[in-house]
Chain A
Amino acid sequence: MKLAAHYNKASIIITLSVLIIGGLIYYYAIRYIATNQLDRDLTEEIDEVKDYINLHGQLPKQVDFDEDQTNFTPTNLKTIPRRFFDTTYYNDKEKRAEAGRAVEGIITFNKINYKVTISESKESTEYLIQLVLLITVLLVVILLTVLFITNRLILKGLWKPFYKLLLQLQAFDISNQAEMTINQTKVDEFNELNTVIQQMTKKAKTDFQYVKSFTENASHEMMTPLAVVTSKLDTLIQDEGLNAKQLTQITNIYSYINRLSRLNQSLLLLVKIDNNLIKDEELIDLKVALLDKIQQFNELIQGKNLKLTTHFEDKSIYVSKYLVDILLNNLFSNAIKHNYEGGVIDIELMYNELIIKNTGEKLPLMHENLFARFYKGKQSEGTGLGLTLVKNICDHYKYRLSYHYFNDKHEMIISF
């Protein structure tokens, strides 16, 4: 739910409850005042009746007291407390019962005590209350509508810088060295937010650059000690005194040095691609490049008795020869390495796609981690950077790299 909606929800609930409670209080207050007024009228009526009796010496007739209905009932009671109560008023003219208010009291006439009841119609008062209520409800509705609309408009305007910032943050690219430009707004809070975000992104970028240059320097620095170790081993194996067991150990060390050095090279390359440092683009005929690679990997393909099928259409791309070489090396290596003896490799080059399919473990690879750095299968002896490199190279040239597992084949698809 959007912030505005949250705000509207809260404001509507509060406004409505305040208005309902207020309305109820209002209603009862008006009613109370109106009833009081009626009671006062009725008191006056009783006084008028008394006056009439004193003046005329007889009980008043019905017509003498216009709308009011007066009843005289002889009673033995000496006194009854004056009492006001709600009753039903029968309107003679309109022939219908209406809500009414009545008063009763004692009047003495010719030494006889009469209980006098005067009732009056409440109709007009009720009508008034209803009218007042109606107006109130109408006001509430108008108020709510106006509030809702203005809130929306005001909020929308107020939050504009926020959404703008959000867009900028979505487009934020940590490897882009250009600083983020953020517009000033009239709202202090947003300005604060902008400043903080600007500082944060700046710091993130500096840190990122730092980490990258660190990776680069560290990798370079590692190469020389590796060279020393390799040269020492090369010298060591010349020693005739070493037995086969010791030499086998040395061979193992060689393999690990090789792995370390390849790992380093891959890391460096990733940094370079990230930094956009490889720019020797030229027009490469992919068909030729693929045929070269097949030639290069020929022995490895034959060594595993893999059946290679190809379908090539003409396709040239404008890329770095070096990067294409690395891309194809990795894809070919994977297709061969993760294949089984006597398996299949299909290579299809079409105008918009390059697909490399291979048989292998009969289980699809985990999708989300596939292109992550240092993610590799349990049996893989690689550096764990191969597919990351492929992915980064594809990203670099805005190609889409996808993976599918279909018909027992692992498919790597590059869409140009």
Chain B
Amino acid sequence: MKLLIIEDEKDLSENIESYLTGEGNICESCYDLKSAMDKVAMYQYDCVLLDIGLPDGEGFTILNYLKANHKNDGVLILSARNSIDDRVMGLNNGADDYLVKPFHLSELKARVEAIYRRKTFNGDKFLHYEQITIDLISKEVIVNNLPIDLTRKEYALLLYLIANKGKRISRNAIAEHLWGDEIDMADNFDFIYTHVKNLRKKLFDVTKKDFIKSVYGVGYKFL
């Protein structure tokens, strides 16, 4: 995928770029509205990561521009403001998703991938990873032509892990992804452990491969 990161906080922008780059992904960064406008006007991106509060204006300008020019770039808004109004305004103006700061890079990657899937594989509702096939519409998981039965949380976990394959993912990030940050339970890692253990076992039973590797002290890595 080709991504554009519009974020004025350079440290954040660099970390996002380094996390998302690789596996055929190309990232470009810009730090203000003016240069961002130039970029989106000239090139086509699979996904634009858009910070709303830019030093020389609101990120919504980019969104309006894309919409007015019928550009099909996916847009993920990054905002420090967790306000319903901003969210509604962003989504109504053609943004694909809205992510509130602070976020985990793994969460960002999962969201970007989701946008990319929606935008590119319009007809294809299947996601493939090695011998695992996921039907994104019916939320069925098929391994070696055999459906495996996953709970809602296990299914969400699997998608999240696949999106962040090869990366270490913290338990905190998984907890926030599965329960949302509104629930004051994110630190309760026992549940994560249970879900990961179950998912690992279910995958192992049919593939005889251990997809999930524990990273002691911090979390997991999907291989």
A contact set with B: CB distance below 8 Å: 220-221, 223-224, 226-235, 237-238, 243-248, 250-251, 254-255, 257-258, 261-262, 265, 268, 272, 278, 280, 296-297, 299-300, 303, 322, 325-326, 329-330, 333, 336-337, 381-383, 386
Contacts and interface: CB of A to CB of B under 8 A. Distances in A.
B102 A250 contact: no
Nearest to B78: A227
Contacts of A297: 183
B184 A224 contact: no
A265 B9 contact: no
Given A255-B187, A300-B188, 7 more contacts: A224-B9, A227-B103, A237-B168, A243-B217, A248-B218, A297-B183, A381-B187
Contacts of B102: 223, 226-227, 229-231, 257, 261
A230 B80 contact: no
A297 B191 CA distance: 11
Given A220-B80, A333-B185, A234 B15 contact: yes
B176 to A, nearest CB: 7
B219 A237 contact: yes
A238 B187 CA distance: 21
B184 A262 contact: yes
A232 B171 CA distance: 16
B9 A227 contact: yes
A238 B12 contact: no
A329 B102 CA distance: 21
B222 interface: no
Given A299-B153, A322-B84, A224 B101 contact: yes
A251 B171 contact: yes
B181 A258 contact: yes
Dominant secondary structure of chain A at its interface with chain B: helix
B220 to A, nearest CB: 11
Contact of B191 (A232, A254, A300, A325): A300
Contacts of B80: 220-221, 223-224, 227
A254 B172 contact: yes
Contacts of B182: 265, 325-326, 329
B16 A231 contact: yes
Nearest to A332: B183
A366 B19 CA distance: 48
Contacts of B168: 237-238
A252 to B, nearest CB: 10
A255 B217 contact: no
A251 B16 contact: no
Given A251-B170, A337-B184, A230 B153 contact: no
Given A262-B181, A296-B183, A333-B185, A234 B217 contact: no
Interface in B27-75: none
Return the 7 tightest CB-CB contacts between A and B, nearest first: A247-B217, A223-B80, A231-B15, A247-B218, A227-B101, A226-B102, A254-B172
7 contacts: A232-B11, A234-B104, A237-B218, A262-B181, A333-B183, A337-B185, A386-B184
A235 B172 contact: no
Contact of A228 (B15, B172, B176, B185): B15
Given A224-B80, A250-B218, A237 B170 contact: yes
Contact of A258 (B18, B105, B106, B172): B172
B176 A258 contact: yes
Nearest to A382: B184
B207 interface: no
Contacts of A322: 84
* Interface-central residue, B181, B188, B217, by most chain A CB under 10 Å: B217
Contact of B217 (A231, A244, A258): A244
B187 A258 contact: yes
A268 B82 contact: yes
Interface in B138-156: 153
Contacts of B190: 303
Nearest to B218: A247
Nearest to A220: B80
Interface string B146-182: 0000000100000000000001101111001001011
B216 interface: yes
B206 interface: no
A227 B184 contact: no
B218 A235 contact: no
Nearest to B186: A258
B217 A245 contact: yes
B154 to A, nearest CB: 11
A122 B176 CA distance: 110
A209 to B, nearest CB: 18
B128 interface: no
